[in-house]
Structure 1
Amino acid sequence: MKKIYLLALCSALSLVVSAGNPDRQGEAGAAQLLMNPWAPSAGLHSLGTSYVTGVEAMRINPAGVSRFAGTQVMLGYANYLQGTDISMQAIGVSSRVGESGGFGFSIMSLDFGDIPITTTEQPEGTGALMNLSFINVGLTYSHQFENKVSVGLTLRGVSESTSDVSSFGVAIDAGVQYVTGVQDAFKFGLSLRNVGSRMAYGGQGLATAADNPDQAADYKLTYAQRAAGFEMPSMLNIGASYDFLTHLENQRVTVVGNFTANSFSRDEVGAGLEYAFREQFLVRAGYRTDLDAPGRSEGTAADESPIYDGISAGASIRVPFAKGDLTRRFSVDYAYRSTRIYGGTHNVGLSLSF
């Protein structure tokens, strides 16, 4: 019956998100929700839907929050598309509550570097810089059942603004994880992400001054322009993983596979491998690609290949506070993801577990 319930839940969630639709590519907004600031999972191209735990689970599959024993605090930084001066900063906290519950809280922001303000009268710049603020805040609850099934839900607020234009929306992530086999070697996960309200920009920056239709009046009127609304980049992730060499005390090899159904772009498939020695030194690598990737458009110079169509790699060093007790540790993480343009994305992170 447990397997039947799990299959029914997976089928129900899979109906919520339509298959990848390249005709709608570029129509979604809030692209910050697709970015991953956490180095360990970024080293696997965010393919860990089935086994991610702790703070990182709030970005990939909230069901994994309750699977982390104890409390975890993480700091993440990413140099996004090296050469663009865009960076990501994030902080997150997750904690096990009771025997089966878990709460998490995370904040992520984007920094776009220095962008000069230009106008039609001053095309070379006014001397001022744009004040851009892209922030999303997430609150997660996860619960683990005795039958090795865990579920989770994240409520996320998304804010994008400049000094005179802003937009705000609310998104929901939901997920489930299931583990089975000897020493829980096989894991299966499913997550539905970024399902939320439509967003639209508004503010004084969209106001336009125009001539008064009353020719007798000697003043202009200010009109508020309506910006077109946009949806969030919803997606469905289905992943599985299997742990090898679990019979050895000091080693573990995990094989990961993941399929992503995107509502506003082509579907993706990926696979990865993680090796752990004493759970203190870990290395990982992944590969992800779009299904039916188009490449360069016919008759144009535009290349429609995905930005992250390629490999990723990363490593982690975990230093326990007490010998043999990895539940209390300090970790340093790094990840690199190759990109079609610019110099790739570099992630670094620090975490404290206790």
Structure 2
Amino acid sequence: MRTKLKSTIMKKILKSIVIVSLTILVLGYSNTAFAGNKDRSGQAGATELLINPWASSTGWANAGMSKIHGVEAMWGNVAGITATNSIDLNFSHTTWLKGSEVNMSSFGFLARISETVVAGLYVMSFNPGEIYRTTEDNPDLTLGTFKPSLMNINIALAKSFSNSIHAGFVVKIISESISDMVGTGVALDAGIQYVTGVTDNIHFGITLKNIGPTMKYSGDGLTFKANPESFWGSSLTVIQRADQFELPTQLNIAAAYDFNFNNGYRLTAAGNFTSNSFSKDQVTLGLEGSLKDYLVIRAGYTLENGIWDDIETENCTNVNNGLSLGASVQAPLGEKMKVAIDYSFQETEHYNGTHSVGARIIF
């Protein structure tokens, strides 16, 4: 009796959250909602946390956060990992702004540890390539190069409270370093998914991302030699104080509707409103068509104030033009195993777009 009462109360709370979420999502189309926090653009650090490294969900502009599942849900909405049957593996490689020599590699896995609980881990490595080393005394490119290392380790846990309500959280360990300087931090994501409808074809989701304390760099790279006038003939090693910086916190509110047809065909329309703390707010819209889950085709668009302006103007703060395309091919490999290949393309103002390729193994 108590369990039923508790479940009923939980459903009522979730329905209230969904109504509020839909209201905010609609308001996202107004100019006010699009405004975001333009004046704070560039003031956050660890912005690689905002880049989706996975090929499937980027194919429709991250619009499907309300129904995302599998390993990719650890980035998008962690509640979605509860859809895992047994074990999921995902490998992904992203060529970010093709021609810039910036690459991202990701690997993750999920495992069901009880009837209602799923745990997971994924690692994302961001490789910006080699950068020429310069100093005030040697501004020319004669000192060789250095290679930054950026890595995020993510540990996730999610639980199904009923057939309709799922929730979870992700703990992120952030590491950014060069040979003589390092910055480390920790952040938290939390997400909820709510499924309703006669055939469970209506989806809602809320995610709060990158909540955590400020980060700060430290190391020998912040030291330099000084020759104060009061110390004739001698020099001192002086340490510069590095300022703290905040993480790029954001709130995502998403909804999706599945149009289910005969013979296992499906068309899903989805939308996602993103409220950014350190950049403009965004609305993403997407469509996903599935042919019996063997072939899935996706398209999406990102709407942001100034996204169609010239990249050289102050109104445009996004390197993407808005359009995203993607596809997945999935095939069974035995009775309990499936293999899928994912690809996505995101159009950009400069360079030759962002390309992601991934492979999934599902048990």
Q: Does the TM-score normalized on the shorter chain lie above 0.5?
A: yes
Residue 85 of structure 2 is aligned to residue 94 of structure 1: no
Alignment partner of 1:313 is 2:316 = no
SS at match of 2:56: helix
Q: Secondary structure at the match of 1:183?
A: coil
CA contact (8 A) 1:119 1:125 kept: no
What is the rounded CA distance, in whole Å, between the counterparts of 1:8 and 1:55 in structure 2?
Answer: 28
2:224 aligned residue? 208
Higher alpha-carbon deviation: 65-74 or 19-28: 19-28
What's the offset of the Cα at 1:37? 1.1
Equivalents in 1 of 2:307, 2:146: separation in Å?
35
Deviation (angstroms), 1:270: 1.3
**Structure 1 partner of 2:343:** 334
Separation in 2, partners of 1:105, 1:233? 21
Q: State whether residues 296 and 305 of structure 1, in contact with CA within 8 Å, keep that contact through their aligned partners in structure 2.
A: no
2:284–2:300 contact (8 Å) kept in structure 1: yes
Q: Could you say what secondary structure the match of 2:132 adopts?
A: coil
Match of 1:4 in 2: 12
Distance in 2 of aligned mates of 1:51 and 1:274 = 11
1:67 aligns with 2:83: yes
Alpha-carbon offset, residue 181 of structure 1? 0.9
AA aligned opposite 1:332: I
Quick one: which of 193, 218, 228 aligns to 2:233? 218
Tell me the SS of whatever aligns to 2:131.
Answer: coil
Q: State which of 262, 270, 295 in structure 2 corresponds to 1:281.
A: 295
Return the letter of the residue paired with 2:290. A
Alignment of 1:1-354 (within 5 A): 1-7=9-15, 20-126=36-142, 128-212=144-228, 214-215=230-231, 217-246=232-261, 248-291=262-305, 295=309, 302=314, 304-322=316-334, 328-354=337-363
SS where residue 338 of structure 1 aligns?
Answer: strand
The answer to whether the Cα contact below 8 Å between 2:45 and 2:247 also exists between their aligned partners in 1 is yes
CA deviation vs aligned residue, 1:116-157 (integer Å, no higher than 9, x gap): 323344444335320310000000000011241000100001
Query: Do the aligned residues in 1 keep the contact of 2:130 with 2:148 (CA within 8 Å)?
Result: no
Q: Distance in 1 between matches of 2:98 and 2:10?
A: 46
Specify the SS of the correspondent of 1:64.
helix
What amino acid is the match of 2:319? I
Q: By how many angstroms is 1:250 displaced?
A: 2.3
Deviations 1:152-174 (A, max 9, x none): 10000111110011111101000
Task: Name the CA shift for 1:280/1:126 in 2 (closer, same or farther; >3 Å).
Answer: same
Asked whether the 8 Å contact 1:337–1:345 carries over to 2, the reply is yes
* 8 Å contact kept, 1:159–1:168: yes
Confirm or deny: 8 A CA contact 1:237 1:261 kept in the other structure: yes
Q: Is the 8 A contact 2:11 2:165 kept in 1?
A: no
User: How far apart, in 2, do the equivalents of 1:251 and 1:189 lie?
Assistant: 23
Distance 1:195-1:211 versus aligned 2 partners, 3 A rule: same
Taking the aligned partners of 2:192 and 2:162, their CA distance within structure 1 comes to 14
Q: 5+ residue gaps in structure 1? A: none
TM superposition shift of 1:245: 2.1
Partner amino acid for 2:134? Answer: T
The 1:75–1:294 alpha-carbon spacing in structure 2 relative to 1, beyond 3 Å, is closer
Cα distance, 1:305 vs structure 2: 4.3
Alignment-mate amino acid for residue 12 of structure 2: I
Q: Is the 8 A contact 2:129 2:148 kept in 1?
A: no
Structure 2: how far apart are the matches of 1:171 and 1:9?
24
Q: Which shifted more, 106-115 or 268-277?
A: 106-115
Per-residue deviation, 1:309: 3.5
Contact 1:160 1:167 in 2 (8 A): yes
Can you list the C-alpha shifts for 1:185-222, whole angstroms capped at 9, x where unaligned?
A: 0011010001111011111111121124533x531111
Report the secondary structure of 2:14's partner residue: helix
Deviation string 1:44-82 (CA, Å, 9 cap, x unpaired) is 112221001110000011111112222111111000011
- Partner residue in 1 for 2:3: none
C-alpha distance 200-286 of structure 1, shift in aligned 2 (>3 A): same
Indicate how the Cα distance of structure 1 residues 293 and 80 shifts in structure 2: closer, same or farther if over 3 A, else same: closer
